[in-house]
Structure 1
Amino acid sequence: MTPELSVVVPVYNERDNIAPLVHEIVAALRSRLPFEIVYVDDHSTDDSVQQLKSLQEQVPELRVIRHLVQSGQSTAIRTGVKAARSRWIATLDGDGQNDPADIPKLLEACTSAAAEVRLFAGWRVNRQDSASKRWASRWANAIRSRLLRDDTPDTGCGIKLFEREAFLELPYFDHMHRYLPALMQRAGWRTVSIPVHHRGRTAGVSKYNNLHRAWVGISDLRGVAWLIKRSRIPRAEEL
């Protein structure tokens, strides 16, 4: 059966978070609609791939793709979206901090939304991160919002729902997953932010630090702002 939803999860060295998250996705979706889970392992150095392969025996909806070279989170997401078989894609971070129980909320918003809305972005209203990480995120969101005017309070949230075709038409670059609302709006689509749950890490370690995020964020912001400034949305009809 062709899935109505593809859940794409990028993962790198998250062996202890894989099984709990997969089972939560199944619990949230199996009674609702046909779906698939597409895990993209970004060349983990632990046994994440082995964990995923063993889970495939229990979860027929689970597909596993492995990068032969570590390529980053944005690339892993794009790999999963390209492999997905559904028109609509839900994404989750592989660390378990996003709650799969929020996916139905995004699907309900999609059902009642206007046709031009092609991205439903999670909004972590009660973040369960360290104080320094929350402060850095507020600072980055404020600068991004002022520069890009994307009317999105939280672009860093990993849980999102978007149309596959619209995503694949976006310009691809490393870290693009942090700018999906602005990029979708640049393409002429509308976006909506939906409040979602957020959970603390229970296993593994974060793959980012505040200094790294800030350094790459400055360059990315300048690039996305340039793309928006140079974009043109054509209006045309077939005669």
Structure 2
Amino acid sequence: MNTAPTPTPDVSIVVPIYNEVENLPDLVERIAQAMSAQPLSFELLAVDDGSRDGSADTLRELAATRPWLRPVFLARNYGQSSALQAGFDRVRGRYVVTLDADLQNEPGDIPLLLERLETDSSVDMVSGWRKDRQDAELSRKLPSRIANRLISSATGVHLHDYGCALKAYRRPIIDRIRLYGELHRFIPSLAKEAGARITEVPVRHHARTRGVSKYGIDRTFRVILDLILIVFFMRYRQRPLHAFGGLGLWLAAPGVLILAWLLLQKVVGEDIGGRPLLLAGVMLVLMGVQMVVAGLIGELLMRIYHEAGGAPQFHAQEYVPDSRVNMPAARDQQAQAATNNIA
């Protein structure tokens, strides 16, 4: 296959890179080999996320003889989500593929994912599943399994492997999502929110042989916090009053009942001034009111955001009749018009 760049390549491959200088030559070569085995044209967006090991210089050298390689250099280390978004902002293909630069993902599996998108119009995103993981450490396997089940249950997007970076998307899905913070872990959930139909296919996985893993135990706590954010985002982004107001009512209701009970006791002559129950009732009511007010403020902010032309509340596609189906009818109309002109 001719690997020269095209004005609009069929596939854009986005790879975030951070201190992977030892893997880059092999990575680029294996991606080129994988893409040469299939008919789609491609480009490789290698996003250097502020590496300090010479990865940027290596990318420049590789790009000098490979026109399809488009390095992108971030000013400093912003994190994987920002690196991916920098690549997404520059993609040109109708399909977008992501994978890590550590060669634990198998570049040879990229055509497998693309074939699924090409042959199955009911799928918008294909997520890789490292069915036979080669991580030697149980400390990585066990938390990953727990996280996959927790995220699947909380978001409603049931996947075996959220952590697999090898994924393929139709371009409109990528155009609808924005990554920031550390939301790269939840791209399937964001894609579902954007209307994507998702499937999962087993892919190969390799143990890391060069470089150093960038993940630590602290990632577990960040995943939990980000999961709270993504669940809130998916369920209550456009109706914050339902989240804050609902919690506020649950807090205020027992507070009101407590105060009503104490009022009744006061009426019958009992002293309630020094009772801790009075303080608990007042605090519950105040906290409930604060939550409801926070929900109302959130609703006002959402109204301002949408009326000012913010992100769309929904994504829609209008039916367009197939021009090839309508060609005979169009020719009949043209022939009738020509007959009328002659007459």
**TM-score (norm: length of structure 1):** 0.93
Which structure dedicates a bigger proportion of its chain to strand? 1
Mapped partners of 2:178, 2:33: distance in 1? 34
Q: 1:75 to 1:235 in 2, by over 3 A?
A: closer
Structural mapping, 1:141-156, within 5 Å: 141-156=148-163
Distance in 2 separating the partners of 1:236 and 1:77: 25
Give unmatched runs, 5+ long, in structure 2: 1-5, 239-312, 319-343
Residue correspondence of structure 1 range 122-201 to structure 2 within 5 A: 122-129=128-135, 130-201=137-208
Deviations 1:70-114 (A, max 9, x none): 110111011011111112111110111100110010011111223
**8 Å Cα contact 2:12/2:44 also seen in 1:** yes
Question: Cα distance 1:182–1:55, how it changes in 2: closer, same or farther (>3 A)?
Answer: same
Distance 1:234 1:168 in 2: 13
Confirm or deny: 8 A CA contact 1:155 1:179 kept in the other structure: yes
More displaced 10-residue stretch of structure 1: 52-61 or 14-23: 52-61
- Distance in 1 (alpha carbons) for counterparts of 2:225 and 2:205: 28
Deviations 1:110-165 (A, max 9, x none): 112234x3211111001111221011101111111121121111111010001233
Report runs of 4+ in structure 1 exceeding 6 Å deviation. Answer: 235-238
Name stretches of at least 5 consecutive residues in structure 1 with no aligned partner.
none
What is the root-mean-square deviation in Å for CA atoms of aligned residues? 1.7
1:10-29 equivalences in 2 (<5 Å): 10-29=16-35
Task: Give the residue type in structure 1 aligned to 2:127.
Answer: A
> Does 2:73 correspond to 1:66?
yes
- 1:3 is matched with 9
Whether contact under 8 Å (2:127, 2:167) holds in the other structure is yes
Q: Is the contact made by 1:81 and 1:164 (CA closer than 8 Å) also made in structure 2? A: no
Question: Aligned partners of 2:205, 2:182: CA distance in 1, in Å?
Answer: 21
**Distance (whole Å) between structure 2 residues aligned to residue 53 and residue 236 of structure 1:** 41
Q: Any idea what SS the aligned residue of 1:74 has? A: helix
Q: State the distance in 1 between where 2:43 and 2:180 align.
A: 26
Letter in 1 for 2:186: Y
Contact 1:144 1:221 in 2 (8 A): yes
Which residue in 2 is equivalent to 1:225? 231
Q: 2:124 aligns with which of 107, 118, 135?
A: 118
Is the radius of gyration larger for structure 1 or structure 2?
Answer: 2
Equivalent position amino acid for 1:225 in 2: V
Could you state the TM-score of these two structures normalised by the residue count of structure 2? 0.66
Distance 1:237 1:103, change over 3 A: closer
Query: Which one scores higher on RCO, CA 8 angstroms, separation ≥ 6?
Result: 1
Q: Number of aligned pairs?
A: 236
Match of 1:214 in 2: 220
Contact residue 177 and residue 191 of structure 2 kept, 8 A: yes
- Which structure shows the higher helix fraction? 2
What is the CA–CA distance in structure 1 between the aligned matches of 2:32 and 2:205, rounded to whole Å?
Answer: 19
Residues 85 and 178 in structure 2, CA contact (< 8 A), matched pair in contact too: no
AA partner of residue 64 (structure 1): P
CA distance in 2, matches of 1:201, 1:67: 25
Counterpart in the other structure of 2:99: 92
Q: Could you tell me the percent identity over the aligned residues?
A: 38
C-alpha distance 146-237 of structure 1, shift in aligned 2 (>3 A)? closer
Q: Distance in 2 between matches of 1:57 and 1:7?
A: 18
